[in-house]
């Protein structure tokens, strides 16, 4: 739900100043979410959720570390002032299931510890950079997520080293003289407590296997996956309980190893989703059979989540004429793109799901809520639409943190070659 600072008047003024579609983030909300996770030794922001360098700077100023999943994300982290040092304390960790050649060179150059999701990564890294610090991302054999597409555990998922292959991974670490920093698990986005308990148990068992193999480690990572209430009435995560379960696992692992272990968490969505809104202007409306469509100037090239996962985002309408008592009607909210799937009110499989909204008129502002995570970071240039601008609100200040892309910039990539 909207942050207190993002009042209707404020949002209308921002849309006036910066145009639409527009991403707006509230810094105060991000700071609050960080504070709720302080019990962990390290909070590592999964920047894939929102990788703007100004958001990364805000994270860094709050003592939050960062995860990178591509060479681009490593370079973004460096641009935001993060540094890596190859150790358990490194600001940046690179997490992936493969290492392309350019990324391999970059993680070596900048001493970025690698969280390996495949044994091939260990061979390639070990051959090029003996002694490099590594984490092992383990697939415990089960997963959970808000959609099959975000469930990252179990045998249908490409992610992580299969749990039964831990001995082979440890052998590869030893053979190449790599330094084992820690074990990591991320079984999906939107994890419930039952699965969380199972993950904690699986982590302790894996630590036992590392110890039995005569090896040691300094840290465990709980991965990300903390959910947020997208719909009214959905539960708000109890971060104390979440920490408590992981802390118990950490203590059991410490008993096995006989020394202290660092406990990390790696959220993306939890830290930023509720800080953000997407603003779009109503440009047309029409009745199509029984459906009433309202067409806005943002599409799934901006916010892909409804089209991709059938994800629900709360919406509110800010009438241009300030009229507060417009009658509500079932409305299908759609964008400008050339596909019928370009609908923000839909369920998985592309079935439109009309939503009760105040009767919209051209010129009204549509606010799509909880879009701070996997919003701008998943945008594309489909239909040759330039990337939208991003604004960060800090109290009564506001900062343009990404200017709107231009079509000329898109064309320039193809010219003069």
Query: Of these residues, 338, 356, 413, 417, which one is catalytic?
Result: 338
Q: Which is nearer to ligand LLP, 21 or 267 (CB)?
A: 267
| Ligand-binding site membership of 250 (annotated) | no
Residue 114: CB minimum distance to ligand LLP, A: 13
Enumerate binding residues for ligand LLP (CB under 6 A). 46, 49, 95, 150, 152, 186, 189, 223-226, 266-270, 305, 373-374
Give ∠ CA 30-36-42 in degrees, rounded to 5. 90
Q: How far is the CB of 270 from ligand LLP (least distance, A)?
A: 6
305 marked as binding residue:
yes
Nearer to ligand LLP, 149 or 286 (CB): 149
The first and second tokens of residue 48, run together, are 């894939």
Residue 398, C-beta contacts closer than 8 angstroms, at least 6 positions apart = 14, 391, 392
SS3 of 337, please? coil
Query: What is the enclosing helix (H) or strand (E) of 38?
Result: none
Is 338 tagged catalytic? Answer: yes
Q: In angstroms, what is the minimal distance from the CB of 129 to ligand LLP?
A: 22
141 is in an annotated binding site: no
Q: Does the annotation list 269 as a binding residue?
A: yes
Q: Is 339 assigned a ligand-binding role in the annotation?
A: yes
- Six token digits for residue 339: 């596909």
Pull the structure tokens for residue 207: 């630590």
In this structure, the chain runs to a length of: 417
| Residue 5 or 147 with smaller CB distance to ligand LLP | 147
Determine the Cα–Cα distance for residues 223 and 267; give it in Å rounded to an integer: 7
What is residue 349's DSSP assignment? T
Shortest Cβ 70–ligand LLP spacing (Å): 12
Contacts 24+ apart (CB under 8 A), 254-259: 256/204, 256/207, 256/208, 256/211, 257/207, 257/211, 257/216, 257/217
- Of 281 and 370, CB closest to ligand LLP: 370
Q: Give the residue ranges of the annotated binding site for substrate.
A: 269, 305, 309, 339, 374
Q: Give the residue ranges of the annotated binding site.
A: 225, 266-269, 305, 309, 339, 374
Q: Give the residue ranges of the annotated binding site for pyridoxal 5'-phosphate.
A: 225, 266-269, 374
Q: Catalytic positions, please?
A: 338
């Amino acid at each position: 739900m909207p942050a207190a600072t993002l009042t209707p008047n404020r949002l209308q003024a921002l849309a006036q100043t910066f145009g639409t579609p527009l991403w707006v983030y509230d810094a105060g909300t991000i700071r609050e979410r960080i504070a709720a996770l302080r019990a962990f030794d390290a909070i590592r922001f999964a920047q894939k959720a929102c990788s703007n360098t100004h958001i990364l700077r805000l994270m860094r100023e709050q003592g939050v570390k960062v995860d990178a999943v591509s060479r681009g994300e490593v370079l973004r982290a460096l641009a935001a002032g993060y540094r890596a040092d190859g150790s358990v304390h490194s600001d940046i960790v690179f997490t992936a299931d493969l290492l392309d050649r350019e990324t391999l060179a970059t993680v070596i150059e900048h001493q970025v510890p690698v969280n390996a999701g495949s044994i091939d990564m260990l061979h390639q890294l070990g051959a090029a950079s003996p002694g490099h610090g590594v984490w092992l991302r383990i697939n415990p054999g089960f997963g959970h997520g808000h959609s099959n597409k975000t469930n990252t555990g179990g045998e249908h998922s490409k992610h992580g080293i299969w749990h039964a292959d831990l001995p082979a991974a440890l052998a590869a670490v030893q053979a190449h003289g790599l330094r084992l920093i820690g074990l990591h698990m991320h079984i999906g986005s939107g994890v419930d407590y039952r699965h969380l308990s199972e993950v904690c148990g699986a982590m302790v068992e894996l630590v036992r296997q590392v110890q039995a193999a005569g090896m040691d480690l300094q840290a465990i990572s709980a991965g990300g996956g903390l959910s947020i209430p997208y719909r009214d009435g959905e539960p708000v995560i109890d971060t104390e309980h979440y920490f408590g379960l992981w802390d118990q696992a950490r203590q059991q692992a410490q008993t096995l190893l006989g020394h202290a272990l660092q406990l990390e968490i790696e959220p993306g969505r939890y830290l930023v989703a509720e800080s953000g809104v997407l603003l779009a202007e109503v440009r047309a409306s029409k009745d199509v059979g029984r459906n009433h469509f309202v067409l806005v100037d943002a599409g799934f090239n901006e916010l892909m989540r409804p089209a991709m996962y059938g994800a629900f985002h709360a919406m509110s309408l800010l009438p241009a004429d300030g009229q507060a008592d417009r009658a509500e009607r079932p409305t299908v909210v759609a964008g400008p793109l050339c596909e019928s799937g370009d609908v923000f009110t839909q369920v998985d499989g592309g079935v439109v799901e009309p939503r009760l909204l105040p009767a919209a008129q051209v010129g009204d502002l549509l606010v799509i809520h909880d879009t701070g995570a996997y919003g701008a970071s998943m945008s594309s240039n489909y239909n040759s639409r330039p990337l939208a601008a991003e604004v960060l609100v800090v109290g009564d200040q506001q900062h343009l943190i990404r200017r709107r892309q231009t079509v000329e910039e898109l064309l320039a990539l193809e010219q003069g070659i």
